[in-house]
Amino acid sequence: MTGARDTMELREDTIRAQYDAALGLLTGFDHAPRLAKAVDAPAPERSAGIGTRPRFRSTVPGMAARSTARPGGVRLVERVEGLGDGLISPAQASALHALRRGLAISLAMGETFAAQSGLAELKKANLEGRVPDLRRAEFTELLAAEALLTLYTFANATAFLLAPQLGSLTVEVGAVDEVLTDNAPLALQGALWELDQDIGLLATDEPRLTAVIAAFCEALMARVALRAETAPRLGAFTASSWRVEADKLAISGFKPARAAKGGALTMQFKKPTDVVGNHIAKYQSLRLAKMLMAYDFERKLNPFAELGGFIFTFMGDGKPGTGKTTLIQMMAGLLNEYCKIAGYPFRYQNFSIDQIDSYQGKSGQNAKAFIDSVIDPSVIGFGTIDDIDQVAGKRGDRQSSAGQQEVTAVFMGAFAGANTVVRGNCTFGMFSNYPENVDDALRQRAGARFLVDGPQSREDYIDILALLLGKNHGIPLGDHDLFAAQEIKRAVAASFEGYAKPHEDGLLKVWDQVSRDLGSLDTLAKLGAYLKAIQQADERFTGRAIKNITDAVKVRAMDFELPDEWMENPDLFLFKPYDDKLAMIKGLMQPITVEMVIQEINRYADSEFRYADKSDEVAIETAVRDMRRMEEAKRRYLEGRG
């Protein structure tokens, strides 16, 4: 995974040779817990010949409780099948298949370790009663090492195999207690006994069954990895890596494998060099892609989110043909590439007009499913809403359908609602050619603004012409330094400096008046007075706008790109503990300046004035057309009467 280990294949025939043993563990075994306690008292023994699956289940809350401690042993197959109505479902079959496959892989891994470490010979000698006294301590340590790696591989493989079936539902199972290290078979029995307890207590339906097994595997991996930090004799396992080709599973010591949930991403990716113009939008997209990769799957938090410099929602607006789709393709391509290198699951989802349904409530359900898919804390997520002015209705607009109004309500609650939690594993981009048609409250939930204005300068137009023509021509370039104007740092610095004063006429009048009254805006009091003056000119400029501006300023304080080497070699940053990543990011931060604050106020307020001016102009033009039509109708009516 990191390139530092020798990768070997864990052969399929070695794994399948363990299928019978794995199935035996799932079918039933006896286990008396040593470190954990049963949740409740055992249920009465069933009489012989009576079916173990319940034919009827009570619909009264509290009457469907099941015993979690089984007499006579652990029977996971029966436990899982007992959740249904007598006919095994695809979800139950998938769960059992993942458990059997995970057990078989772990047993095969334990067998491989035993062969490489010398444990196999000691086991044989032990059966024959001829282990030398001098090697008994070594034998005990190797058995414990095999138990730990077998437990971890079982949890790792099972979680990996279940990932495609997981939704956004999460379950807390608590710490795993029954971690035994006498030998590998006993260790697996202890883990399966505790898993059986958790399923009986928490898996009330099929989606929760999958979530409980996945959560248990995560908890087991965390507990075993902690034990392995001080355990001896694990070198034969940690020094190399193995690959299970049939499952695309990489086993790399005590590091979890990450499986993508859902199908493979199919998109025509663009490289940063394919984007001409749009300097600030391009720069912020590049940085945001790397910010997302700082997410810590163990802590389920991103250091950038903790420090206040993470972009959870942003809006990209511009005229048709200025490059919004290209920006989406560039950012998705970068994330896809980074996640492949790190072995992280990546999910891209787009919400479009096709998901607006005529059935009441269905559009809202589609929007909620889209949000849940992207915010799933076990993936790196990128969600886009293209043409959001068509997808989400403006409240009070009689031309908006009920479905569009439902979508607006869902997005508003998801992007800045009472239950919104920003972990830093995902971001949402809203794109529109007509942002003035987006509901004001929803638009203000976009924390960052990307003006997608396309190529602007003479150099930009020469660069985009050369890029799109390709190389199948002999036309000389002429007096031009190709792509020099696209050098990102220089172009971005110039773009930011351009916001030392506003661009929009309405905001420029406010700026001039405040500057005449207060002089240079060099104190918090003067900056606050400028913000109040903006609010007086546009009442839609509320406290949420101030929050978005300060968030953008905090992003500017992190005006650095994580080095490319950190993405290319995950061990340098991505695989480090959360606290180490947090310290590394803090070391790159810079202090907030007055210039940053002024530029971000002007950038944000410019966008609001631009939207308001366009919205007012569109309304005026519509009213004028209506009046002209009415005048023409009156004229024809009067002519007809004459």
pLDDT tens for residues 243-290?
Answer: 999 998 989 899 888 765 544 555 667 777 677 666 777 888 888 899
- Which part of the chain has CATH 3.40.50.300? 272-620
> If pLDDT is split at 50, 70 and 90, which confidence band does 168 have?
low
Q: How far apart are CA 435 and CA 148, in angstroms?
A: 56
Q: Which range has the worst mean pLDDT, 116-120, 196-200, 354-358? A: 354-358
**pLDDT tens per residue across span 121-162:** 999 999 998 989 899 999 999 999 999 999 999 999 999 999
**pLDDT tens per residue across span 401-439:** 888 999 999 999 999 877 788 999 999 999 888 877 888
Most confident of the ranges 7-11, 384-388, 425-429, 603-607: 425-429
| Percentage of residues of the chain with pLDDT beyond 90 | 36
- Bridge partners of 296, per DSSP, are 301
In this prediction, residue 353 carries a pLDDT of 87
Q: How far apart are CA 93 and CA 91, in angstroms?
A: 5
Report the chain's terminal Cα–Cα distance, integer Å.
88
- Single out the residue of 302, 246, 238, 331 nearest to residue 2, CA to CA: 238
User: How many C-beta neighbours within 10 Å does residue 422 have?
Assistant: 20
**pLDDT tens per residue across span 175-234:** 999 999 999 999 999 999 999 999 999 998 887 899 999 999 999 999 999 999 999 999
- Single out the residue of 224, 229, 198, 220 nearest to residue 211, CA to CA: 198
- Assigned token pair, 436: 């003035």
In three-state secondary structure terms, 369 is helix
| Residues whose CB is less than 8 angstroms from the CB of residue 289 and which lie 6 or more positions away in sequence, other chains included | 331, 334, 335, 338
In this prediction, residue 220 carries a pLDDT of 95
- 66 close to 200: Cβ distance less than 8 angstroms: yes
In this prediction, residue 278 carries a pLDDT of 67
Most confident of the ranges 55-59, 203-207, 615-619: 203-207
240-244 and 249-251 strand pairing: antiparallel
Q: What is the mean pLDDT of residues 61-81?
A: 61
- Single out the residue of 83, 89, 102, 104 nearest to residue 15, CA to CA: 104
In three-state secondary structure terms, 14 is helix
User: How many C-beta neighbours within 10 Å does residue 587 have?
Assistant: 7
| Residues whose CB is less than 8 angstroms from the CB of residue 235 and which lie 6 or more positions away in sequence, other chains included | none
| Residue 557 reports pLDDT greater than 70 | yes
448-451 and 380-386 strand pairing: unpaired
pTM: 0.58
In this prediction, residue 68 carries a pLDDT of 43
Long-range pairs for 38-45 at CB < 8 Å and ≥24 separation?
38/68, 38/69, 38/197, 39/68, 39/69, 39/197, 39/200, 39/201, 40/67, 40/68, 40/69, 41/67, 41/69, 42/67, 42/69, 42/70, 42/71, 43/67, 43/69, 43/70, 43/71, 44/71, 45/71, 45/72
249-251 and 6-9 strand pairing: unpaired
In this prediction, residue 390 carries a pLDDT of 87
- Single out the residue of 205, 208, 209 nearest to residue 85, CA to CA: 205
> Mind spelling out the 3-state secondary structure of 416-435?
HCCCCCCCCCEEEEEEECCH
Q: How many CA atoms lie within 13 A of 30 on its CB side?
A: 2
Rg for the chain, CA atoms, rounded: 31
- Assigned token pair, 441: 């409250």
| Residue 2 reports pLDDT greater than 50 | no
Topology of the domain covering 272-620: Rossmann fold (3.40.50)
Q: How far apart are CA 566 and CA 578, in angstroms?
A: 15
- Single out the residue of 151, 171, 162 nearest to residue 97, CA to CA: 162
In this prediction, residue 617 carries a pLDDT of 61
Dihedral of alpha carbons 510, 516, 517, 520, sign: positive
Q: How many CA atoms lie within 13 A of 616 on its CB side?
A: 7
Mean pLDDT taken over the chain: 83
* Alpha carbon of residue 198 to chain centroid: 27
| Residue 297 reports pLDDT greater than 60 | yes
> If pLDDT is split at 50, 70 and 90, which confidence band does 48 have?
very low
User: How many C-beta neighbours within 10 Å does residue 282 have?
Assistant: 24
Alpha helix ranges (H) inside 244-361: 279-293, 303-307, 324-342
User: How many helices (DSSP H) and strands (DSSP E) are in the chain?
Assistant: 24, 8
In this prediction, residue 619 carries a pLDDT of 63
In this prediction, residue 72 carries a pLDDT of 46
> If pLDDT is split at 50, 70 and 90, which confidence band does 549 have?
confident
- Single out the residue of 607, 321, 604 nearest to residue 436, CA to CA: 607
Q: Which range has the worst mean pLDDT, 59-63, 435-439, 452-456, 469-473? A: 59-63
- 395 close to 439: Cβ distance less than 8 angstroms: yes
Q: Which residue has the tokens 């249904």?
A: 84
**pLDDT tens per residue across span 579-604:** 999 999 888 888 888 998 998 898 88
